[in-house]
C-alpha cells in the first residue's frame, strides 16, 4: 500500500483477522447478538460504531496530553456519549425505520467495550492519524463479524437478504418454498447468534492454530 | 480364516490410511477388537460403552414398535375409520412413516460422527447408537425428513463434537436435536395438528382419501393447556393409546424399559425415582393451590393446575424423558447425592414449565436441558460438602 506505511496498514488489517475484537478479544458480544437478525441493521450498526470509534479515537488522541489520568474514564465517556448522541440523531433524521429496529442498541454503543478498550489501549498513547486508523481497523473487524452473522441469520432465518426474497415467497409458496423448504425460526433468536459467532471462532482458530489459547 | 481375522488383517494393512477410523468402527461394532487386554491382573467387565449403549437401544425397541402401531391407530381413528390397535393396517402405516425417520437419524448422525472421526483421526465412538434411536421416538411423526437431518447435524456437531465428542458433551444430544427442531420449526413441533399422521393440511395432499376437516389430533397436554376437558381415560393414557411424539405415549412400556435399565444397572434408579417425586411434589403444590381457592376457574392456568398430580406422570413425554434422557450418564450428575437433587429438580421444573408456560407444553425437554447445564455445579457442591465434612472429622481426631 502506497498510502500507508507497513506499520500503519497493520493497524487496519490486524483487527480484521488475527486480532479481531469479537472473535479473539471477545468484546462487543452483546450488540453482536442483539441486532444481527437482519443484515441491514448489522451494516448500520457497524457503520455507527465505525463513526463513533474513529472520531472518538482522534478526539481522545488529540486530548491525550491534557486529560488528567485520574478522570480519564469520565472524559472518555463524555466523548463517546456525545458522539453516540450525534449518530443517534442522524439515524433518527435520515433512517427512522432503521433507528426503530436498532432501538436502544445505538445508545448502548456507549457501553460497547471495544470503544473504551481502544481509547484506553491505543488512543491515549498514540497520535491522531494512527488512532484514526486503529479506530477504523477495529470497528471494521467488529463490523465484519456483525455482517457475517447478520448475513447468515437473515438468510436462514427469514429467507431474505437486505429485504430481498432470496429463496422465494413463503406465503405464496414460490421458489424453494414450493419444495417444502421452511425458514429456520431459531436463527432469529439470540442464542443462535451466539452459536454462529462460536462457529466463526471455531473456523478461524482451526485455520490458524497459533490463535488457540493454552490453558 | 473367519471374518473377524479378515477384518483385523485389513486393519493392520491400512494402519496409516486416513479412513481407518471409519473402518475400525465397523470392526469394533461387530467384535471386541484384538487390541483389548486378554490376560493379566485387570478387572474386566463385560459391559463396555458399546454393550451399555446396545442395552438402551434394546430397551427402546418396544417403544418403537408400539409407536408404529399407535401411529397407524391414531391415523385411522382421526380419519374416522376404526381399526384394531394390533392390526397390520395400523402397523404398516407406522412402519412406512417411522422407518424413514430411523434411517435418516442414523445415516445422518453416524455420517457426521464418521466425518469427525476421520478429520480428527480418532476412533468412531458409539455414542450415537442411542441418540439415533431416541431421536425418531421424540419427534412428531410427520416431521419432514430434511428438517430432521438439519437438526441431527446441528445436534451432533454443536451439541457433542465441539465439546470433544462422546462423553464430553454438556447437553443430551437427542434433546438438543429436539430443542433445535422445536425452536427452529415450531409449526411442525407443536400445536394441535402435527401429532397424528395426516392431520396436518401440509401433508394431507400426500394421502389418498383424507378428509381434511375430519382430522384433529391434539396431545393431552395441548388440550389441557387450552383449558379443554380431558378426552382420554386414564388407562388410555397409561397404555399409550393417545396422540403424541412417536415413542413416548406408552407409559407402561417406558416403565418396563425403566425397570430393565435399573435391573441391568445402566439407568440410575436414583434419578428416575427422585424425578418422579419432584413431579409429584410440584403437582401436589398446584393441586393444593387450586383446592385452597387461591386461583379461580377464570385463570388460564386453572385446567393444568387442577389436573390431578399423578396424571402428570402418564401424559406428555415426562416418563420417556425421565427414563431415557435424564439418566444419560454423560450429562447427569455423577455423585449419588447429586443425582437425587438433579432428578428432583428435573421433575419439579418440568411440571412447573408445563403449567406456567402453555406455549411450551413439553416442559420435560427444557427441564432436562436446564439441569444438564447445572449438573456439574451440583456435583461440585456435593464433592466440596464431602471434603468439608471429612476435614472436620479429621480436625476433631487431631484435636
User: A68-125, pLDDT tens digit by residue?
Assistant: 888 888 998 999 999 999 988 998 898 888 888 777 788 888 888 888 888 888 888 8
Measured distance CA(A186)–CA(A188) in Å, rounded: 5
Interface touch B146/A180, C-beta < 8 Å: yes
Number of C-alpha atoms within 13 angstroms, CB side, residue B72?
Answer: 20
Q: Hey, is the C-beta of B146 within 8 angstroms of any chain A C-beta?
A: yes
B255 and B339 co-located in one domain: yes
Which among B102, B103, B168, B113 is positioned nearest to B136, based on CA atoms? B102
Locate cell 385452597: which residue? B292
For B238, the grid coordinates are: 397409561
Alpha carbon separation from A127 to A14, A61, A155, B343 (Å, rounded): 18, 6, 41, 60
> Which distant-in-sequence residues (6+ apart) come within 8 Å of B228 by Cβ?
B218, B303
**What's the pLDDT at B305?**
78
Residue ranges making up the domain that contains A35:
26-206
| A17 belongs to a structural domain | no
Q: Hey, is the C-beta of B184 within 8 angstroms of any chain A C-beta?
A: yes
| B233 belongs to a structural domain | no
Q: What is the tens place of the pLDDT at every residue in A186-215?
A: 888 888 889 999 898 888 888 877 777 776
Partners of B189 on chain A (C-beta within 8 Å) are none
B326 and B178 co-located in one domain: no
**What's the pLDDT at B388?**
93
> How far does A185 lie from chain B, in Å, by closest CA?
4
| A163 belongs to a structural domain | yes
Alpha carbon separation from B340 to A37, A104, B107, B278 (Å, rounded): 41, 44, 36, 10
Tally the domains of chain B: 2
For B29, the grid coordinates are: 461394532
Number of C-alpha atoms within 13 angstroms, CB side, residue A139?
Answer: 27
| A212 belongs to a structural domain | no
B199 and B340 co-located in one domain: no
Alpha carbon separation from B243 to B73, B218, B320 (Å, rounded): 9, 7, 14
Nearest CA in chain B to A199: B158
Interface touch A189/B183, C-beta < 8 Å: yes
| B36 belongs to a structural domain | no
Nearest CA in chain B to A189: B183
Q: What is the tens place of the pLDDT at every residue in A168-181?
A: 777 777 777 777 78
Under DSSP, the state recorded for A109 is G
B73 and B184 co-located in one domain: yes
Alpha carbon separation from B18 to B5, B120, B157, B178 (Å, rounded): 21, 10, 21, 33
**What's the pLDDT at A28?**
78
| B225 belongs to a structural domain | no
B151 and B298 co-located in one domain: no
Q: Residue A4: is it exposed, middle or buried by C-beta count within 10 angstroms (0-12/13-18/19+)?
A: middle
**What's the pLDDT at B241?**
83
B207 and B328 co-located in one domain: no
Interface touch A195/B150, C-beta < 8 Å: no
Number of residues written out for chain A: 215
B188 and B337 co-located in one domain: no
Partners of A187 on chain B (C-beta within 8 Å) are 184
Residues of A near B (Cβ–Cβ under 8 Å) read 180-182, 184-187, 189, 195, 198, 202
Q: What is the tens place of the pLDDT at every residue in A132-144?
A: 998 899 899 889 9
B370 and B285 co-located in one domain: yes
| A3 belongs to a structural domain | no
Residue ranges making up the domain that contains B101:
47-217
Q: In this structure, how many other beta carbons lie within 10 angstroms of the beta carbon of residue A67?
A: 16
Nearest CA in chain B to A190: B183
B212 and B249 co-located in one domain: no
Partners of B186 on chain A (C-beta within 8 Å) are 185
Percent of chain A with pLDDT over 70: 98
Strand residue runs (E) in A45-114: none
Q: Hey, is the C-beta of B150 within 8 angstroms of any chain A C-beta?
A: yes
B173 and B265 co-located in one domain: no
B158, B183, B185: residue with CB nearest A182: B185
**What's the pLDDT at A3?**
67
Interface-testing mutation among B145, B171, B183, with chain A (most A C-beta atoms within 10 A): B183
Alpha carbon separation from B394 to A169, B384, B387, B389 (Å, rounded): 72, 15, 10, 9
| B12 belongs to a structural domain | no
**What's the pLDDT at B212?**
47
Tell which of B164, B198, B217 closes a domain.
B217
| B23 belongs to a structural domain | no
Q: What is the mean pLDDT of each run of 10 residues along chain B (399 residues)?
A: 70 68 68 59 65 85 89 80 77 87 92 85 76 90 89 91 83 91 86 72 54 58 70 80 83 91 88 93 89 77 78 85 89 91 93 82 87 93 93 86
Q: What is the tens place of the pLDDT at every residue in B269-322?
A: 999 999 999 999 998 998 888 888 777 777 777 777 777 888 888 887 889 999
| A120 belongs to a structural domain | yes
Interface touch A182/B186, C-beta < 8 Å: no
**What's the pLDDT at A99?**
83
Locate cell 481407518: which residue? B20
B324 and B203 co-located in one domain: no
B171 and B277 co-located in one domain: no
Find the angle CA(B279)-CA(B284)-CA(B289) to the nearest 5 degrees: 130
For B154, the grid coordinates are: 446441528
> Which distant-in-sequence residues (6+ apart) come within 8 Å of B112 by Cβ?
B152, B153, B156, B157, B161
DSSP-assigned letters across all residues of A126-188: S-HHHHHHHHHHHHHHHHHHHHHHHHHHHHHHHSEETTEESS--TTTT-GGGGGT----GGGG
Which among A34, A45, A83 is positioned nearest to A197, based on CA atoms? A34
Tally the domains of chain A: 1
Partners of A198 on chain B (C-beta within 8 Å) are 158, 162
> Which distant-in-sequence residues (6+ apart) come within 8 Å of A110 by Cβ?
A77, A80, A81, A84
| A119 belongs to a structural domain | yes
Interface touch B180/A202, C-beta < 8 Å: no
Locate cell 429496529: which residue? A101
Alpha carbon separation from B72 to A45, B194, B238, B241 (Å, rounded): 53, 14, 18, 11
For A158, the grid coordinates are: 427469514
| B37 belongs to a structural domain | no
List helix spans (H) across chain B.
3-13, 20-30, 49-78, 88-120, 128-137, 145-159, 173-184, 186-189, 201-204, 220-225, 234-239, 251-263, 269-291, 302-306, 311-314, 318-320, 336-356, 363-398
Rounded to two decimals, the ipTM of the complex is 0.83
pTM of structure? 0.85
Partners of A182 on chain B (C-beta within 8 Å) are 147, 185, 187-188
Q: Residue B88: is it exposed, middle or buried by C-beta count within 10 angstroms (0-12/13-18/19+)?
A: exposed
Measured distance CA(B64)–CA(B263) in Å, rounded: 21
The mean pLDDT value of chain A amounts to 85
| B42 belongs to a structural domain | no
| B34 belongs to a structural domain | no
Report the DSSP pairing between strands A160-161 and A164-165: antiparallel
B110 forms beta bridges with none
The torsion defined by the Cα of B245, B251, B254 and B258, in degrees rounded to 10, comes to 140
| A214 belongs to a structural domain | no
Measured distance CA(B221)–CA(B307) in Å, rounded: 10
Amino acid at each position: 500500500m502506497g498510502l500507508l506505511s507497513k506499520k500503519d496498514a497493520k493497524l487496519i488489517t490486524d483487527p480484521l483477522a488475527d486480532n479481531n475484537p469479537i472473535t479473539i478479544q471477545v468484546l462487543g458480544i452483546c450488540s453482536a447478538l442483539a441486532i444481527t437478525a437482519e443484515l441491514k441493521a448489522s451494516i448500520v450498526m457497524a457503520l455507527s460504531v465505525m463513526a463513533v470509534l474513529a472520531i472518538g479515537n482522534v478526539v481522545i488522541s488529540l486530548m491525550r496530553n491534557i486529560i488528567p489520568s485520574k478522570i480519564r474514564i469520565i472524559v472518555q465517556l463524555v466523548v463517546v456519549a456525545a458522539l453516540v448522541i450525534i449518530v443517534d440523531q442522524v439515524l433518527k433524521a435520515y433512517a427512522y425505520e432503521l433507528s426503530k429496529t436498532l432501538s436502544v442498541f445505538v445508545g448502548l454503543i456507549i457501553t460497547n467495550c471495544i470503544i473504551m478498550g481502544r481509547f484506553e489501549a491505543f488512543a491515549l498513547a498514540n497520535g491522531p492519524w494512527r488512532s484514526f486508523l486503529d479506530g477504523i481497523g477495529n470497528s471494521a473487524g467488529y463490523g465484519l463479524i456483525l455482517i457475517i452473522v447478520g448475513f447468515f441469520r437473515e438468510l436462514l432465518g427469514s429467507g431474505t437478504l437486505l429485504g430481498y426474497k432470496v429463496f422465494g415467497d413463503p406465503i405464496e409458496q414460490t421458489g424453494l418454498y414450493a419444495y417444502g423448504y421452511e425458514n429456520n425460526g431459531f436463527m432469529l433468536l439470540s442464542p443462535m447468534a451466539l452459536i454462529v459467532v462460536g462457529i466463526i471462532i471455531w473456523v478461524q482458530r482451526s485455520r490458524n492454530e497459533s490463535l488457540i489459547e493454552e490453558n | 480364516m473367519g471374518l473377524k481375522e479378515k477384518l483385523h488383517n485389513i486393519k493392520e494393512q491400512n494402519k496409516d490410511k486416513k479412513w481407518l477410523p471409519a473402518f475400525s468402527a465397523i470392526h469394533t461394532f461387530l467384535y471386541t477388537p484384538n487390541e483389548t487386554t486378554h490376560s493379566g491382573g485387570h478387572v474386566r467387565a463385560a459391559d463396555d460403552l458399546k454393550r451399555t449403549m446396545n442395552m438402551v437401544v434394546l430397551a427402546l425397541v418396544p417403544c418403537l414398535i408400539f409407536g408404529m402401531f399407535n401411529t397407524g391407530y391414531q391415523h385411522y381413528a382421526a380419519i374416522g375409520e376404526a381399526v384394531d390397535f394390533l392390526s397390520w393396517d395400523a402397523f404398516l402405516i407406522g412402519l412406512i412413516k417411522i422407518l424413514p425417520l430411523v434411517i435418516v437419524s442414523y445415516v445422518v448422525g453416524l455420517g457426521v460422527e464418521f466425518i469427525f472421526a476421520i478429520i480428527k483421526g480418532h476412533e468412531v465412538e458409539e455414542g450415537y447408537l442411542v441418540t439415533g434411536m431416541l431421536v425418531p421416538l421424540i419427534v412428531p411423526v410427520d416431521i419432514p425428513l430434511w428438517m430432521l437431518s438439519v437438526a441431527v447435524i446441528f445436534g451432533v456437531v454443536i451439541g457433542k463434537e465441539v465439546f470433544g465428542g462422546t462423553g464430553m458433551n454438556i447437553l443430551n444430544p437427542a434433546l438438543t436435536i429436539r430443542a433445535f427442531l422445536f425452536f427452529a420449526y415450531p409449526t411442525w413441533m407443536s400445536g394441535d395438528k402435527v401429532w397424528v399422521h395426516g392431520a396436518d393440511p401440509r401433508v394431507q395432499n400426500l394421502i389418498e382419501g383424507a378428509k381434511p376437516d375430519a382430522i384433529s389430533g391434539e396431545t393431552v397436554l395441548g388440550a389441557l393447556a387450552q383449558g379443554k376437558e380431558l378426552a382420554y381415560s386414564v388407562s388410555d393414557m397409561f397404555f399409550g393409546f393417545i396422540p403424541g411424539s412417536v415413542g413416548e405415549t406408552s407409559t407402561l412400556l417406558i416403565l418396563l424399559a425403566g425397570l430393565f435399565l435399573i435391573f441391568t444397572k445402566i439407568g440410575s434408579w436414583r434419578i428416575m425415582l427422585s424425578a418422579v417425586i419432584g413431579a409429584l411434589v410440584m403437582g401436589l403444590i398446584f393441586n393444593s393451590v387450586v383446592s385452597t381457592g387461591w386461583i379461580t376457574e377464570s385463570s388460564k392456568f386453572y385446567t393444568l393446575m387442577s389436573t390431578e398430580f399423578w396424571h402428570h406422570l402418564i401424559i406428555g413425554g415426562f416418563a420417556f424423558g425421565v427414563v431415557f434422557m435424564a439418566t444419560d450418564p454423560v450429562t447427569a450428575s455423577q455423585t449419588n447425592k447429586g443425582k437425587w437433587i438433579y432428578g428432583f429438580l428435573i421433575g419439579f421444573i418440568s411440571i412447573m414449565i408445563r403449567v406456567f408456560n402453555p406455549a411450551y407444553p413439553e416442559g420435560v425437554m427444557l427441564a432436562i436441558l436446564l439441569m444438564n447445564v447445572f449438573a456439574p455445579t451440583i456435583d461440585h457442591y456435593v464433592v466440596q460438602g464431602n471434603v468439608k465434612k471429612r476435614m472436620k472429622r479429621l480436625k476433631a481426631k487431631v484435636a
